[in-house]
């Protein structure tokens, strides 16, 4: 922890009059951190995958299910052709080893204002809401999730969880990333005459490639 952060936390402790925590308080806090309580959760109306797909499509996202990772580049290419998009994009570098067709122009970097399509790899999918969880890293900068008009996300079925609490449990088992983005469908707003407009503050299309078989990406 840096000296600046220490100074900030010490100032907060001093203002609260909590320079030294009572031993019982420390034990209570440690117990809570070791065993995180889970609040009441709803019963899912369907099995995990059908529930996730239903909620994903309800949020105006689209989906293609494929058998294995080798099919990812062709699912991406089909999306570009369907929407008459240029065959160029910025891609999460964890997907670099895939057999991308030579016709695709791919950059492995942070997204820029001129980029139209990005491809990211998801940490998890949440069946309760149809949301996708993406973690920032040097391989997948956060700009890939929000700058391009078309966002394609790759998710393995094994990474599906029922509730958001399941995501935090998985995250606690690894180093915490700098940022966590929970995305539900394309960007939207109803600020203008209470009419839904897609793409107001981010991608106007969100397309999920759901991969059946376990892979390395």
- Angle, vertex CA 93, rays to CA 163 and CA 147, nearest 5: 70
Nearest to 154 by CA among 213, 49, 72: 72
Q: How confident is the model at residue 193 (pLDDT cuts 50, 70, 90)?
A: low
Provide the terminal-to-terminal Cα distance of the chain, rounded to the nearest Å: 32
pLDDT at 50 (0 to 100): 95
pLDDT tens figures, 130-183: 999 999 998 889 999 999 999 999 999 999 999 999 999 999 888 889 899 999
Q: Are 41 and 163 in contact (CB under 8 A)?
A: yes
Question: Which token pair is 25?
Answer: 């308080």
pLDDT tens figures, 43-92: 888 899 999 999 999 999 999 999 999 999 999 999 999 999 999 999 99
Q: Partners of 197 in the beta sheet?
A: 189
Look at the block and give the residue holding tokens 């009419």.
195
| 199 exposure class (CB count in 10 Å sphere: 0-12, 13-18, 19+) | middle
Mean pLDDT of the chain: 88
What are residue 8's phi and psi, to 5 degrees?
Answer: -60, -50
pLDDT at 10 (0 to 100): 83
Diameter of the chain by CA atoms? Answer: 65
pTM of the model: 0.83
Q: Are 141 and 107 in contact (CB under 8 A)?
A: no
Rounded Cα–Cα distance for residues 10 and 136 (Å): 29
Give the residue-averaged pLDDT of 179-202. Answer: 71
Taking 70 as the threshold, does the pLDDT of residue 192 lie above it? no
Share of the chain above pLDDT 70, in %: 90
Return the number of other C-beta atoms located less than 10 Å from residue 68's C-beta: 12
Question: Which token pair is 211?
Answer: 């991969």
In CATH terms, 46-211 corresponds, of 3.40.50.10420, 3.40.1390.10, 1.10.540.10, 3.90.550.10, to: 3.40.50.10420
pLDDT at 104 (0 to 100): 95
Nearest to 153 by CA among 107, 131, 118, 120: 120
pLDDT at 38 (0 to 100): 78
DSSP character for 42? P
DSSP character for 177? P
Q: How confident is the model at residue 25 (pLDDT cuts 50, 70, 90)?
A: confident
State whether residue 168 is helix, strand or coil: helix
Residue extents of the structural domains in the chain: 1-35, 46-211
């Amino acid at each position: 922890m840096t000296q600046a952060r220490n100074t900030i936390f010490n100032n907060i402790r001093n203002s609260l009059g909590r320079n030294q925590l009572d031993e019982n308080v420390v034990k209570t806090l440690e117990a809570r951190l070791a065993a995180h309580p889970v609040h009441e959760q709803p019963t899912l109306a369907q099995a995990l995958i059908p529930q996730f797909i239903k909620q994903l499509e309800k949020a105006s996202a689209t989906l293609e299910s494929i058998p294995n990772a080798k099919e990812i580049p062709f699912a991406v290419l089909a999306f570009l052709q369907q929407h008459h998009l240029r065959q160029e994009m910025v891609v999460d570098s964890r997907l670099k080893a895939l057999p991308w067709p030579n016709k695709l122009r791919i950059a492995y970097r942070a997204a820029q204002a001129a980029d139209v399509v990005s491809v990211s790899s998801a940490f998890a999918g949440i069946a309760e809401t149809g949301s996708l969880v993406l973690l920032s890293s040097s391989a997948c900068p956060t700009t890939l999730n929000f700058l391009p008009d078309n966002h394609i996300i790759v998710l393995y079925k094994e990474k599906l969880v029922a509730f958001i609490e399941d995501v935090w449990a998985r995250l606690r088992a690894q180093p915490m990333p700098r940022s966590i983005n929970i995305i539900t469908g394309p960007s939207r707003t109803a600020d203008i005459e209470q009419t839904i407009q897609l793409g107001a503050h981010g991608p106007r299309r969100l397309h999920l490639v759901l991969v059946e078989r376990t892979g390395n990406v």
